[in-house]
Each structure stands twice: as C-alpha cells, then as structure tokens.
Amino acid sequence: MRILLTGASGYLGTALMRLIPTWRPEWDLHITSHSIEPSDDMPNVHHLELRDESSVARVMDKVQPDIIFHTAALNAGDAQEMYGTNAQGSGYLARAAARSGARLLHLSSDVIFDGERGNYSEDDAPNPLTLYAVSKADAEKNVAASGANAVLVRTSLIYGFKPLDPRTRSVLRGEIPNLFTDEMRCPIWVDNLCEALLELAENEYRGILNVAGTQALSRYEFGVKLMRALNADSSHLIPTASSQSGVIRPRDCTLNVSRAQQVLQTKLESVNKVIEKKTG
Ligand SMILES: NC(=O)c1ccc[n+]([C@@H]2O[C@H](COP(=O)([O-])OP(=O)(O)OC[C@H]3O[C@@H](n4cnc5c(N)ncnc54)[C@H](OP(=O)(O)O)[C@@H]3O)[C@@H](O)[C@H]2O)c1
C-alpha cells in the first residue's frame, strides 16, 4: 500500500506520521511539505502547493497513492490564500484521486455549521459564518463533486499531550486568557482521531462522517480541564461570552457521532476519559 499524507508538518499530520509506521509498518508512507523545500536525499518527501493544480498533479503522478490522508489546510490569514488552499486545493486533489482510484480521507471541520442548534448529524446542511468555514464547506462540495472514493471526516478541536496541541500550548503560556463559555465543541484526542482515520482508510465507508469526541464542552470548560490535567494553574483563564465579543462566530458546533460509533470499531472517547487515562 502506498500512502500519501498531506500536511505532514501540521499537528494532525505529525501525529499520523508518528503513528502510521507503528500501526502499519508495511505501508510505504509518502508525505508532503509546503513551506520547506525537501532535499534530494528525502525521496518520500514531496513538495506540495495545494493552490497550484500542476503541483498537486505532479505529486499524485509521482506517488500514485492507494490511500490519501488529506490533512493540509490553512486556518487563518489571507482569505484568497485560504480559499485557494482549502476549497480549490482539496478539489484538485480529489479530482486527481478520482482519476487514479485512490481512497481519500478528507479532513473537514465542525465550523462549517452556523452553531445555532448543535448536535449536528451528517445530514445537516452547512451554513458557514467565517471565511475559513466557507473555504472548508466549499472544500467538502468539491470533494463530493469529484466522484472520488472519499470520506469527508468532520471533526472538532484536536488536542493532545505529547506534543501539546498549539491551542493548549498557547492557553498554558497565558497567550489566550479569554475562553468562551458559550462556544460548545466536541474535542477529540489526536490519537483517537488517528485511529479512526486509519480504520476508515481500510474500510469501505464513503461520504460524510462525524468523527469527534463524545463530550460536549465549552471552550472555557475544556481549557480548565486541560490545565488541571497538566497540573497547571487555571486561575488566569477568563470566562468570556462569545455573544458579547462582537465577532461573528458559530456557537454550538457539537457533532452527533452516533453514525461513527456504528461504522467504526474505534471507540470515540470523552475528554474526561482521555484525561483519566493520561493522568490516572
Ligand atoms: N486543529 C483543529 O482543532 C481542527 C479542528 C477541525 C478540523 N481541523 C482540520 O484538520 C486538518 C488538520 O488540522 P491541523 O490543525 O493539524 O493543521 P495545521 O497544524 O494547521 O497544519 C496544516 C498543514 O497544511 C500545510 N499547508 C498549508 N498551506 C498549504 C498549501 N498551500 N499547500 C500544501 N500544504 C499546505 C501546512 O504546511 P506548512 O506548515 O509547511 O505551510 C501544514 O503542514 C485540517 O484540514 C483542519 O481544517 C482541525
């Protein structure tokens, strides 16, 4: 099996790069790098610019993957760059996957919803509020329209301990003191998500699947739990209302994971359970 992992320098990509060789040592793993040009002595590392269709085609032709873990994305910055990377780039990759017959695991996000209701199922219609969310919602449309053998994996806040995810690291350092009490999410432990992705790579499921943690928490509650798990002081965290922030953000993006729990052998975990395992 030849595997292509996009976004290998990202948080999820790094975790997959660490876990795939232990879980599937027989797989021939190829990864993409974006901001760093790989040197010639790294035959399994390929430069990829998702905004450039010919770059996507070059990597696909070279690797000829059976399975693609598509984690690369841009979550902030220039709107055009973000749309080009997330929506158009995912479309280029999906169309190349459709042509070659590769199975595509595409990473999507809970923020494609407007957050007015919560507990979203796979059948609920996205209504993105932010530029990032629009780019991810359109990415889904492009992947679905490509006809690729694809799973659109909708996930939530990705967290982990070794290494810490960038958000938690910033909270720990006091860089993000204000945490919203009215933004609900279903955070997922990165190893749990990787396990689910690996299983999806090898099963026959196609279409949208919510893969998130089983516990709905506000960003504030989540931050406090993580600080306690890390034996860190949480008194610097300021409970803040997103509704008072003046910024338009989706409030309740909790995902209903009952379909994933039927489709997958992988048990999706609650934050409490993960913390208990890590610290117990
Ligand atoms: N993190 C979360 O809490 C969360 C929640 C829901 C959904 N997701 C989704 O899960 C996936 C993984 O998220 P993550 O947080 O692990 O991402 P991340 O850490 O931000 O990493 C993004 C990766 O994409 C690469 N990249 C950026 N622009 C690119 C371009 N134009 N061409 C090719 N590669 C490019 C980056 O490479 P360089 O660093 O070299 O630029 C990096 O390796 C994403 O699809 C994200 O939308 C994440």
Question: From ligand 1's centre to the CA of 178, what distance in Å?
Answer: 24
Is residue 200 assigned to a domain? Answer: yes
- How far is residue 86 CA from its own chain's centroid? 12
- Specify the residue for token string 């629009």: 134
pLDDT at 138 over 90: yes
Residue 242 lies in a domain: no
Cα radius of gyration (the chain): 18
**What CATH code is carried by the domain that includes residue 103?**
3.40.50.720
Structure tokens at 124: 């609920």
Write the residue with the smallest CA distance to atom 11 of ligand 1.
71
Counting the structural domains of the chain, the total is: 1
Ligand 1 binding pocket, CB closer than 6 Å: 7, 9-13, 33-35, 48-51, 71-75, 85, 107, 109, 136, 155-158
Helix (H) or strand (E) holding 238: strand 238-240
194 found inside a domain:
yes
Q: Can you tell me which atom of ligand 1 is nearest the CA of 51?
A: 31
Structure token digits, residue 108: 């999507």
So what's the pLDDT on residue 40? 86
Structure tokens given for 84: 């080009």
Given a contact cutoff of 8 angstroms between Cβ atoms, the answer to whether 122 and 259 are in contact is yes
Flag whether 143 is in a domain.
yes
Residue 123 pLDDT level (bands cut at 50, 70, 90): very high
Range of the domain at 259: 2-156+188-214+255-269
243's tokens: 């509704």
Q: Is the pLDDT confidence value at 85 over 90?
A: yes
Ligand 1, atom 36: closest residue by C-alpha: 7
Q: How far is CA 133 from the centre of its chain?
A: 13
Give percent of the chain with pLDDT exceeding 90. Answer: 94
* Chain position carrying tokens 């196609």: 206
Is the pTM value of this prediction over 0.95?
Answer: yes
Residues 205-245: tens digit of each pLDDT = 999 999 999 999 999 999 999 999 999 999 999 999 998 88
| pLDDT tens digits, 164-221 | 999 999 999 999 999 999 999 999 999 999 999 999 999 999 999 999 999 999 999 9
Over residues 146-172, the mean pLDDT reads 97
Tell me, yes or no, whether 21 lies in a domain. yes
**Res. 278 pLDDT band, cuts 50 70 90:** confident
pLDDT digit string, tens, across residues 24-77: 999 999 999 999 989 888 989 999 999 999 999 999 999 999 999 999 999 999
φ, ψ for residue 184, nearest 5 deg: -100, 135
Say if CB 227 and CB 179 are below 8 A apart: no
| 69 belongs to a structural domain | yes
- Cα separation of 25 and 276, whole Å? 29
Residue 99 covered by a domain: yes
Residue nearest to atom 37 of ligand 1 (CA): 34
- Residue 201 in any domain: the answer is yes
Q: What is the pLDDT of residue 280?
A: 64
pLDDT band at 163 (very low <50, low <70, confident <90, very high): very high
Cβ-proximal residues to 27 (8 Å cutoff; 6+ apart), any chain? 1, 2, 3, 20, 21
Give residues with Cβ within 8 angstroms of 278, minimum separation 6: 161, 229
- Asked if the model's pLDDT at residue 279 lies above 80, the reply is no
**CA distances (Å), 170 to each of 37, 42, 227, 241, in order?**
28, 32, 11, 19
3-state helix, strand, coil in the chain (%, to 5): 40, 20, 40
Buried b / exposed e over 235-268, threshold 16 CB at 10 Å, is eebeebebeeeeeebbbbbbbbbebbeebbebeb
CA dihedral 125, 128, 133, 134 (to 10 degrees): 90
